[in-house]
Amino acid sequence: MRGTIFNFGNLQKLFWLTLSFGIAVTYNACSRLEPNENIKVFASGGCRGQLETNFKSTYYPIFQQHCNSCHSSFTDQGPGDFADEELDIGITAMYVDEYGYPDKLSLINKNAVDPGHPAPTSGPELEEDIYYANESWSQALIAYDTCIGSPPPVKPKTKGFVMSHTLDPVGTLAYTPVSLSMTLAGDLEVGNDLPGVTFTFEYTFEGEELTLDQCTVEKISPDGKCYSPETAYKIRNLKVTTGSAAIDVSNINLFFNGAFSGTQSTFRAIDIEVPANSTDFQISSGTQPAILQPPEGFNPGVDALSFEFSVLQEAVPEPADL
Ligand code: HEC
């Protein structure tokens, strides 16, 4: 998916790319405003101006041509005002009503290329425009939020999975495989369930238990035991099984007992499209595990691991000719 973007064959594609890079590198020049944690409001000034410029050349023209008759303030044929001809109303729907954010944006992308969504206004002929609009707008949105100093959008996150593996000597490859089934409501604490998608990972609890007299008070773990300094949970072999849709996965952060672990794991660099109908598609190798050494110590059977994703969603269909 992302690898193929360099394969563009015409100027229009170059334009989109230039636009998104241009925004990514210039947003630092914006003035910073106080973030408001509760109500989403539009900041005026340079930050907004850049987002508007992006909207004008990405989604706005598509919406005007194909969606305006239903998704506008003057009609209630379709929900949302994102396709209003007033740029101001449209972009407010995108930003404030969050049509432009991952969950609802993927619905926009999906409906736009769905021939079944009020034909003939939407369909496969929009695939290429939607693909580039999505790439560019998603970048612009991050740039805007950074520009105004707003907290980043809420990311999909799993519930905590309790790790109860018994202690193995360092280097033992006695993994405990764990399945996270995204099909079942409840496995994702934040974000939408993905039908047919299953994540699995493996972990070990490696190290050595020391006698209590070898420990200072502050080194004693919550389970009342003392562990050697190299003791750690090691997480590896992240695999994904998909259903009938491809999914995008990027930047996985590990949370330990509800708090960001700070672990700089290889999972953070993941940026991948997992094809539809994959079985155990490996998205992280077994040779570079994420190593968790919580400063507060260990409590196997209670310690819980959760995964947070920057992106975890059905992939935007890529046009066949890219
Ligand atoms: C002829 C009217 C019509 C046109 C044109 C139309 N839609 Fe829709 N749209 C609807 C209706 C009706 C619904 C609600 C029922 C449904 O979800 O299918 C809807 C729902 C949606 C939703 C879900 C909104 C929500 O809040 O639940 C999105 C997103 C959407 N359409 C995007 C688009 C896009 C993008 C276009 C243009 C490419 C488009 N639609 C063109 C009528 C239309």
Ligand 1 centre to CA of 245 (Å) is 21
Ligand 1 centre to CA of 21 (Å) is 30
Query: Alpha-carbon distance 69 to 87, whole Å?
Result: 15
- Predicted confidence at residue 186, as pLDDT, reads 67
Burial 205-234 (b: 16+ CB within 10 A, else e): bbbeeeeeeeeeeeeebeeebbbbeebbbb
Average per-residue pLDDT in the chain? 80
Ligand 1 centre to CA of 193 (Å) is 21
pLDDT tens column, 178-187: 877 776 666 7
**Residues near ligand 1 with C-beta < 6 Å?**
66-67, 69-71, 77-80, 107-108, 111-112, 117-118, 121-122
- Predicted confidence at residue 59, as pLDDT, reads 96
pLDDT tens column, 190-235: 777 787 888 888 888 999 999 998 888 778 999 999 999 999 998 8
- Predicted confidence at residue 33, as pLDDT, reads 40
Measuring CA to CA, how many Å separate 114 from each of 71, 125, 279?
Answer: 16, 10, 26
Which residues make beta-bridge pairs with 271? 250
Mutate to test the pocket of ligand 1, among 96, 117, 127 (most ligand atoms within 8 A of CB): 117
Measuring CA to CA, how many Å separate 136 from each of 12, 15, 179, 284?
Answer: 13, 10, 34, 27
For residue 248, which phi and psi values (nearest 5 degrees)? Answer: -95, 135
Q: Once rounded to an integer, what is the mean pLDDT over residues 1-18?
A: 38
- Predicted confidence at residue 62, as pLDDT, reads 95
Ligand 1 centre to CA of 79 (Å) is 7
- Predicted confidence at residue 184, as pLDDT, reads 60
Q: Once rounded to an integer, what is the mean pLDDT over residues 309-320?
A: 76
Ligand 1 centre to CA of 138 (Å) is 20
- Predicted confidence at residue 243, as pLDDT, reads 87
- Predicted confidence at residue 21, as pLDDT, reads 38
- Predicted confidence at residue 119, as pLDDT, reads 66
The amino acid sitting at 49 is G
Query: Alpha-carbon distance 162 to 302, whole Å?
Result: 6
**Nearest CA residue ID for atom 25, ligand 1:** 79
Share of the chain above pLDDT 90, in %: 28
The secondary structure of residue 58, as a DSSP letter, is T
pLDDT tens column, 64-102: 999 999 999 998 899 999 999 999 999 999 988 888 876
- Predicted confidence at residue 8, as pLDDT, reads 38
Domain boundaries, the chain: 2-147, 157-314
pLDDT tens column, 116-147: 888 667 777 888 898 889 889 988 988 888 88
Q: Residue 211 in contact with residue 179, Cβ under 8 Å?
A: no
- Predicted confidence at residue 50, as pLDDT, reads 92
